[in-house]
C-alpha cells in the first residue's frame, strides 16, 4: 500500500511519524539530513527504546550545509544516547537522505526532515509504503550507508567542545525556525 503525504508544512507527517514510532515493536531506522526533533519526537524515540525497540539514526557527519542545524540537533543527542538510541554520523560526503523504516514493513521516503520546519512550514512530500519487500530494500540501503559512518557515543557528546555547548544555548530557542 502506498500513501503520499500532503505538501505544505504537513502536521499530518508529524503525526504519521509519531504514530509509526509509537507502534514500533522491533526496529526504527532513520536517516535525516536535518534532525532537530521536537519534544514529542524525542519522547517517542526514548519510549520506543524503553519498550526494547532498536533505534538507529544516521545523520550527516562533518559534511553538513548548516552548522546551526547541527548544533540544534546535537543539543538533544545526550538524552537519546543515554536511552540507547544509536546515532551514526555519515562520513564520506554530505548526506541528504530522508528515510524512516519501522519494523521492516513501513517505509517513508521523500523530502520530509525530522524537524519542526518540515512539519509545519516547508512544502514537503513523502511516500509512505507499507510493504515488507520495499522495506527490506530500503533497509539494505540504510545498512550500506551505515558502513560509511562513525557511531557517536554519549562520551563523545559529553566531550564536545565548550564552544558548541555555549552556542546550543542561543540556538535552541530558535530551533523551530531552522
Q: What is the pLDDT of residues 114-141, one digit of tens each?
A: 665 555 555 666 788 999 999 999 999 9
CATH number at residue 132: 3.30.870.10
Cα 131 from Cα 58, distance rounded (Å)? 22
Phi, psi dihedral angles at 171 (to 5 degrees): -85, -35
Which pLDDT does position 4 carry in this prediction? 46
Sequence-distant (6+) residues with CB within 8 A of 47 are: 22
Task: Give CA separation, 143 vs 22, 33, 71, 166, 171, in Å.
Answer: 23, 17, 26, 34, 32
CA distance 29 to 102: 7
Q: What is the pTM of this model?
A: 0.83
**CA proximity to 113, closest of 62, 49, 178:** 178
Residue 170 clears pLDDT 70, i.e. is over it: no
Q: Could you tell me the residue range of the domain that residue 112 belongs to?
A: 2-177
Among 11-25, 107-121, 140-154, 162-176, the least confident range: 162-176
What total of structural domains would you count in the chain? 1
Name the nearest CA neighbour of 105 among 139, 72, 79, 81.
Answer: 139
- pLDDT tens digits, one per residue of 32-45: 988 888 889 999 99
Alpha carbon distance 89, 118 (integer Å): 21
pLDDT tens figures, 55-104: 999 998 887 766 666 666 787 889 999 999 999 999 988 777 889 999 99
Amino acid at each position: 500500500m502506498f500513501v503520499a503525504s500532503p505538501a505544505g508544512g504537513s502536521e499530518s507527517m508529524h503525526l504519521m511519524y509519531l504514530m509509526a514510532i509509537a507502534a514500533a515493536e522491533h526496529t526504527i531506522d532513520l536517516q535525516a539530513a536535518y534532525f532537530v526533533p521536537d519534544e514529542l519526537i524525542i519522547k517517542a524515540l526514548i519510549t520506543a527504546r524503553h519498550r526494547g525497540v532498536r533505534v538507529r539514526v544516521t545523520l550527516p557527519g562533518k559534511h553538513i550545509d548548516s552548522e546551526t542545524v547541527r548544533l540544534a540537533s546535537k543539543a538533544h543527542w545526550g538524552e537519546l544516547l543515554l536511552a540507547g538510541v544509536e546515532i551514526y554520523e555519515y562520513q564520506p560526503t554530505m548526506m541528504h537522505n530522508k528515510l524512516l523504516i519501522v519494523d521492516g514493513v513501513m517505509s517513508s521516503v521523500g523530502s520530509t526532515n525530522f524537524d519542526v520546519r518540515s512539519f509545519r512550514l516547508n512544502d514537503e512530500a513523502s511516500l509512505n509504503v507499507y510493504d515488507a519487500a520495499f522495506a527490506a530494500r530500503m533497509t539494505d540501503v540504510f545498512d550500506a550507508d551505515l558502513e560509511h559512518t562513525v557511531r557517536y557515543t554519549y562520551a563523545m557528546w559529553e566531550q564536545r567542545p565548550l564552544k558548541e555547548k555555549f552556542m546550543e544555548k542561543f540556538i535552541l530557542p530558535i530551533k523551530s525556525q531552522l
